[in-house]
Structure 1
Amino acid sequence: MGSESIVFSIFLIFSGAAVISSFALLTRQPLIVGYIVLGGLFGPFGLDLVSDSKILEQISHIGIIFLLFLLGLDLQPRNFGKLIGRSAFVTITSGVILCVLGTLICRQFQFSWLESGLIGISLMFSSTIIGIKLLPTTMLHHKHTGEVLIAILLIQDILAIITLILLSGTDHIGDVGAWLGVGISLPGLLIGARYTVRWIILPLLTRFDRFHEYIFLLAIGWCLGVAELAQALGLSLEIGAFIAGISLANSPIAQYIATNLKPLRDFFLILFFFSIGAGFNLGLIEQIWLPSILITALVLVLKPVLHAKLLSVTGESKSLSWEAGFRLGQTSEFSLLIAFIASAQGLIGVVAAHVIQATAILTFLISTYIVVFRFPTPIAISDRLRRD
């Protein structure tokens, strides 16, 4: 694909995304779904307007790197310590039950134990993007419901990142020497990043904090530099980006960096979700529709019930427990990442990957409608429920 083709492809993607996002917002749907649908429409299995999605897929991988970098920036250890005791029981218990049931369902459709297990794991997580976007700002910052949701989503994000780290290390799954190398490289990179930030990055940021462009460039350079170093040490780009974020999390400028990098992250994530849709083979519908519908039903019915019952056990009110349960009643963008990385590593086949993707799309769609029609959201149809 030449440079002109890349420019034309990006033109198609972002012009199309602008149009389809309008329809998504009018129908009260998350924009992620619009980007995936657009990929399916414009990709090689649709109109074939963007026939070579591989290069765009490689470019879009930068969005995943920035996503993990920003998650690391938001992970302040002192805050996480307060949240983990309160919500870990709910998160882990519900996740294990969903994982086991999802695995058993998939085994009935002749998926291998590994494929079934990874599909089951993908059901453990709820969408941080949908959960936060559908939460009114007042509830997000000043209500106990927001605190409970953020606590659960934060723990789920950490578990998802651990899963991605483990999946990224399976290139050498049978190589004991490689795993020993990882055992040395990972703590070494953590320690090295911490002291590099303390002795070099923070002094530079303090000295030149008036130059916003410099802060922006230094943050990007730090993120990508640690990501490349991690890959050179036998880890992965994702691990390096997450470590780069954690190392800056306690700095006074962490939130400023996170806020200013989000538009860049969103640019690349649009390409990522488009590439997910472009790789969705509609010819496999006959093979995936039944397991996808059954697993979708499992998530939509059981996930709210599990969260509601478990939150009630921990002392939360009945109304808060059910509201939180329904707001968490979908799979996650991390589920798509699990399918993407596991497929790239050869751990799951194309059919299993498509089951994960189809389940994510269906639960995004249906769960959003349930929340919009029942609970306060910024995009509610009813004036009674619309909250900013």
Structure 2
Amino acid sequence: MEIYLLLSVFLGFSALVAYIFERAGFSRIAGYITTGVLLSLFFAEILKANTEFLNFFSDVAITLLVFEIGREVGIEKIRKMNLTPLIILGFEIFFAFLFALLFGTILKLNFLETLILAAVASFSSTAIVFSLLLGLGLSEKTRREILMVMVLEDIYAILILAILPSLRLGSLDPTQLIRLLSLSILITTILIAVGITVIRRVFIWVIEINEPGVAIILGSAFLFAVISRSFGLSPALGAFAAGIALSAHPKNTEIGEYLRPLREMFLIVFFVVLGTEAGMTNIVSPLLLLAPIIVLLRFLAFTSANWLTTGKSLEESLKIGFTASCVGEFGMVITYEATRLGLVHAEFLTLSAFSVILGALISSKLSRNADNYAARISSAVPSEVKTVVDKISANVSRITEGKASDFVRETFFRILRNVLVLFLTIALGSAFLYISDLLLPTLSIYISIVVLSTIVLTIILTAINTRKHAKELCSIFVREERSGYVLEEVLVGTTSISLLLISFGLALLTSSNFLVAMVNRTYNLDIAQFIVLLVLALFFAVLVIGYIKLKRISL
């Protein structure tokens, strides 16, 4: 009887609170989460007694949510996407990790806690952004561009969900960990490949909009989720692959509407469950002080990215930033999974819930009077700064969306490939250092010299190659307009040296434990503090070099 009562209270009370929130101009999702927090204060014992039932609902809801994202995204939208949403997402991720590293260091968080903190700060709520954009009077092109950023955020979130189960095994020795990660990458590739080839064709041939068709669709989604979980990955990855497969169906939209009531019921219960989980933890936590900072971070990241890359004015970028200051519920989904896996403490779920609620309230409030607030903030920015940024933004927008966009996209992905090669080299090299020290301790010092030399050589060669691509990219600015030299000086002059310094810093960070242990064992010296200072100095040098280059540019 308690389960029926629980479901009745969940659905009835959440409908009432969501209605109140919606009438006040706020998000229904914030209302559902608030419902859960309130229920946790009165039904704590019943909730604890039905944990298994609530976990089942949560698993089904996550699977259906991610399946729907895959269905909505589709492979065609990804193929037709221009660079602007990718650049904006890059800004968001950079700001989020910078924030997480800074406050993670201050609060002495471990690596996994820092990663989850970055995840909380990386997303905006797609549902809230979509509803707020309609009231801002923005063009269809702008709305489509922003929603594409939301889609990329969802894909990024799914990738994080996919690797969470592997992170739980971080105590394994390096050999097992590398094998597990390699298997994860392989299974990920196979699932997506099978989804967009074989299963997609089966869906097109077999599925009709009726009960048997829905049964086949849901069965495929859960089957892919089970396959993904059986290999140590998150079920979300399999569901996403199944959703992409369904996106090619000629009646994809009608099928989505057919599935909507089922999905919505599970999601309502899921968001209430998230609120109850957050409410049953320590509500008075120092981590909650970060919630307003996370909301501010979302606003700054989205505003600056739009202003610098899309050719929009500062006022228009500010209005877009108001909508994106709502913290995404996907951060809660990731935090919830990380909590269940034992990766982080429950206080992180409380922080995530509070950030979602606070972000929904603030973004709704700012968007109601967006023109007035945007004009006030814009008037406080010096006109000289606005002139330079507007010029840079116009150039970036022209080459990413104009005739040269194909060349720009190709060159951009070459640079991105170089960065990925660097990260992969650093990760594999660092892992090899630990493996050699584990298996061949007597030869580890000689092996480390070879491995570190290889890493350094790869970093230097990749930085040189990246500089060449950056120069090719800047040639478009120079060819079309003299103002292109503004970006050429910054981009070419700083890309290679910044990449060098950042790569050296990452290499030191990933191999720091090995280096400290080896030097301590060989020379009886503790160099831990020295490595920390050296890494900070390298990252600070990147900022200084960028500042000096900007100062040398004449307006």
User: TM-score, normalised to structure 2's length?
Assistant: 0.61
CA contact (8 A) 2:302 2:320 kept: yes
C-alpha displacement of 1:53: 4.5
Distance change in 2, residues 1:72/1:355 (3 Å)? same
1:34 corresponds, among 27, 31, 36, to: 31
C-alpha displacement of 1:169: 3.0
Equivalent residue for 1:345? 341
C-alpha displacement of 1:283: 6.1
C-alpha displacement of 1:38: 1.5
CA contact (8 A) 2:96 2:121 kept: yes
Whole-angstrom distance in 2 between the partners of 1:202 and 1:138: 38
Distance change in 2, residues 1:178/1:322 (3 Å)? same
C-alpha displacement of 1:14: 0.8
4+ long deviations beyond 4 Å: 137-140
CA contact (8 A) 1:299 1:330 kept: no
Aligned pairs for 1:103-118 (under 5 A) are 103-118=101-116
C-alpha displacement of 1:199: 4.9
Which amino acid is the alignment partner of residue 203 of structure 2?
I
CA contact (8 A) 2:168 2:341 kept: yes
1:178 aligns with 2:175: no
Deviations 1:99-123 (A, max 9, x none): 2123312432333343133212320
Whole-angstrom distance in 2 between the partners of 1:82 and 1:198: 19
1:228 aligns with 2:226: yes
Equivalent residue for 1:133? 131
1:18 corresponds, among 12, 15, 18, to: 15
Distance change in 2, residues 1:161/1:8 (3 Å)? same
C-alpha displacement of 1:239: 1.0
1:301 corresponds, among 296, 319, 324, to: 296
CA contact (8 A) 2:327 2:360 kept: yes
Equivalent residue for 2:368? 372
Equivalent residue for 1:165? 162
Whole-angstrom distance in 2 between the partners of 1:231 and 1:33: 30
CA contact (8 A) 2:299 2:324 kept: yes
Question: Could you say what the CA RMSD is over the residues aligned between the two structures, in angstroms?
Answer: 2.5
C-alpha displacement of 1:247: 1.6
- List alignment gaps of at least 5 residues for structure 1: 377-388
Equivalent residue for 1:357? 353
CA contact (8 A) 1:227 1:237 kept: yes
Percent of aligned pairs sharing the same letter: 22
SS of alignment partner, residue 233 of structure 2: coil
CA contact (8 A) 2:30 2:356 kept: no
Distance change in 2, residues 1:187/1:326 (3 Å)? same
Equivalent residue for 1:311? 306
C-alpha displacement of 1:171: 4.0
Whole-angstrom distance in 2 between the partners of 1:284 and 1:110: 19
Distance change in 2, residues 1:220/1:347 (3 Å)? same
C-alpha displacement of 1:267: 0.7
C-alpha displacement of 1:220: 1.3
Distance change in 2, residues 1:8/1:247 (3 Å)? same
Whole-angstrom distance in 1 between the partners of 2:370 and 2:191: 46
1:46 corresponds, among 42, 48, 60, to: 42
Equivalent residue for 1:379? none
Deviations 1:31-90 (A, max 9, x none): 1122112112222x4344743341223223211101100111112233223334122112
CA contact (8 A) 1:114 1:348 kept: yes
Distance change in 2, residues 1:90/1:184 (3 Å)? closer
C-alpha displacement of 1:93: 1.6
1:239 aligns with 2:237: yes
Whole-angstrom distance in 2 between the partners of 1:9 and 1:61: 18
Whole-angstrom distance in 1 between the partners of 2:250 and 2:180: 37
Deviations 1:257-314 (A, max 9, x none): 22222221111111111111111246623323xx323x33323334323322322222
CA contact (8 A) 1:287 1:351 kept: yes
Equivalent residue for 2:325? 329
User: TM-score, normalised to structure 1's length?
Assistant: 0.85
Distance change in 2, residues 1:283/1:349 (3 Å)? closer
Distance change in 2, residues 1:90/1:191 (3 Å)? closer
C-alpha displacement of 1:319: 3.4
Greater shift, 253-262 or 104-113, is seen at 104-113
SS of alignment partner, residue 280 of structure 1: helix
Equivalent residue for 1:152? 149
Whole-angstrom distance in 2 between the partners of 1:16 and 1:237: 30
Structure of greater relative contact order (alpha carbons < 8 Å, 6+ residues apart): 1
More helix per residue: 1 or 2?
Answer: 2
Whole-angstrom distance in 2 between the partners of 1:76 and 1:66: 16
- List alignment gaps of at least 5 residues for structure 2: 373-555
C-alpha displacement of 1:372: 2.9
Whole-angstrom distance in 2 between the partners of 1:168 and 1:15: 34
Distance change in 2, residues 1:169/1:243 (3 Å)? farther
Deviations 1:127-163 (A, max 9, x none): 11111122328968x6233122112212211211111
SS of alignment partner, residue 283 of structure 2: helix
Whole-angstrom distance in 1 between the partners of 2:364 and 2:50: 29
Which amino acid is the alignment partner of residue 302 of structure 2?
H
CA contact (8 A) 1:172 1:178 kept: no
SS of alignment partner, residue 250 of structure 1: coil
Tell me the number of residue pairs that the alignment of Structure 1 and Structure 2 aligns.
Answer: 364
Equivalent residue for 1:386? none
